[in-house]
Every structure is written in C-alpha cells, then in structure tokens.
Amino acid sequence: METVASSGNGLATVLVRGAVAEIVLSNGRLNLVTKPFLVELNEALARVGANDNLRCLVLHGGDSRAFCAGSDIKEFDGLRSDASERKILFEDMVLRNLARIPFPTIAAIDAPALGGGLELALACDLRVLRQGVRIGLPETQLGGLAGNGSVRLARLVGPARAKELLFTGETIDAGKALGWGVVNRIVEGSALECARELAGTIARRGPLSNRFAKQLVDAAGDGPLDAALSASTVAQQKVFDSRDLHEGAAAFFAKRPPEFEGR
C-alpha cells in the first residue's frame, strides 16, 4: 500500500494499491467530525476523485475506537443563526463530494458509526459492517438533527424505518442494519478486510461500466423514469463505443481474464 498524501495533521490519509484507494480517518480515538477534519477529508476526496486510474475507494476509521462518532459537540458553542455558514454548508458539501466520487465507494465499519459518522457511511455506495458493531443517528437525544442523513437514509430504507431511527435516536445492531438494508454485508471478522476484497472484485470489473452504473442508479431516484431511461441509452452507447466492452468479449471467447483500461 502506497501512501499518496496526508494533508495537514494527517486527519485523512490517502493510500493507494493498484486501482483501489483508501481514505483512513484519523481524528483521535473517536474520529470526531471537526472543521479541520472536514477540510482534510475534502482535500483527500478531491485527490482521489481526480485520479482516473482508480476504480474503487474504501473509507475506514483506521485504528480508532469508532469509524466516526459524529460531530464534536464542543464546536456547537456559539453556533446560532450563523450555523449554516460556519458548519452546516461546508459539512454538506463534503458529504456531497464523497457521494459524487465517480467510481464505487465502500465504507468499512469496524467500530461504531454514529451521527455524522453514519452520514459519511451513507454517502458511500456500499457499507460493510463488523458483527457486534452498532450504528445510528442519535442526534435527537441532544435535540439535534441528522439533516443529510435523514434524506439519504430515507432513500435507502424507506420513510417508516428512517423515521423510527431518527425519532428515537436509538442505535441498531448489525443484524437489523442488514435486514433493513442500511448495510450490504456483515462480517464476523474485519470489515476492512472484507471491504478490501470487495473493492478488489470491483476493480477487476469494467471501470467504465461501473462508473455509468453508479450514475444511472443515483439518477434513478432523482427524476422521472423516462429521463433516467434516456440516460441509460446514452450510457450504453458510450460503453459500446469503448475498448473495454470489446476487450471483455474477446477475453470471454479466449477464456482469459479481461484487461480493462477504462476507455
């Protein structure tokens, strides 16, 4: 694994192995969401998103006791009518930038993901959760609100289940998280190792295909069906125009692994 960059205080480090990148969160024992943390994470996302050689990203909490335990409550002091300018808008932008990474992303959750931490995981395409780890959006216990998380969670699990988690602020275990569709996989061992294996599988598949698939799935819930289907036609034409599809077909008949180039 090659360390590509670690900005500022090393709160978000980018590691790259082949076509798979990792962003390691490292903001103390709980990986609290602070302004400096968000600044460094945003810089890491910009570097990763601009690398055309990458095919998958894994986001994880490193050796910390939490994947991410949410906002640092100490930063709330003094935030009133200026909260949007000083906190909310920038945090929302970082989450949007994570969601807009052009290739598949995976959150490897080996320790609790709470509040803003679960919002980070929800902004990824896939989530792998270690058995015994709990996740949730407990903001209401403090009178707060998971704004970004409310929207993403509702799209993922439906309004009734999203409202239950938001209204009660309770955490859920791995079994319920999988059953409700909050996570894709649960593992007895390391979520990070499982995510790395999954990322390796994704990286061996057609990179153009996966990028277009991500765009189409995301667009499916954003507008009219006819517009989404029209976008799928355009995407499919671009795939047929690519070298990758014809390399994949040739490899199939030659009974060998395809060598995709992402073009």
Per residue in 138-148, pLDDT tens? Answer: 999 988 889 89
pLDDT digits (tens, 9 = 90+) for 192-222: 999 999 999 999 999 999 999 999 999 888 7
Per the CB < 8 A criterion, the answer to whether 60 and 14 are in contact is no
Where in the chain is CATH 3.90.226.10? 2-204
Alpha helical stretches, state H, the chain: 35-49, 83, 89-99, 116-122, 147-157, 159-168, 174-180, 191-204, 207-220, 225-241, 243-254
**Span 221-236, mean pLDDT?**
82
pLDDT digits (tens, 9 = 90+) for 87-107: 889 999 999 999 999 999 999
What does the pLDDT read at residue 237?
83
Min mean pLDDT across 6-10, 152-156, 164-168, 234-238 is at: 6-10
Structural class in CATH, domain 207-254: mainly alpha
Where in the chain is CATH 1.10.12? 207-254
CB within 8 Å of 173: residues ≥ 6 apart:
132, 134
What does the pLDDT read at residue 6?
59
pLDDT over 60 at 16, yes or no: yes
- Residue 188 is given by DSSP the state S
Q: Select which of 139, 170, 197, 247 is catalytic.
A: 139
Q: Select which of 22, 40, 43, 119 is catalytic.
A: 119
3-class secondary-structure state, position 113: strand
What does the pLDDT read at residue 4?
61
CA angle 113–117–120, rounded 5-degree value: 120
In the chain, what percentage of residues exceed pLDDT 70? 97
Q: How confident is the model at residue 2 (pLDDT cuts 50, 70, 90)?
A: low
Phi, psi of 25 (to 5 degrees): -85, 135
CATH of domain 2-204: 3.90.226.10
State yes or no: is 164 an active-site residue: no
Q: How confident is the model at residue 77 (pLDDT cuts 50, 70, 90)?
A: confident
Q: What is the pTM of this model?
A: 0.92
State yes or no: is 197 an active-site residue: no
Average pLDDT, the chain: 92
Q: Which amino acid is at 208?
A: L
What does the pLDDT read at residue 49?
97
**Span 232-261, mean pLDDT?**
86
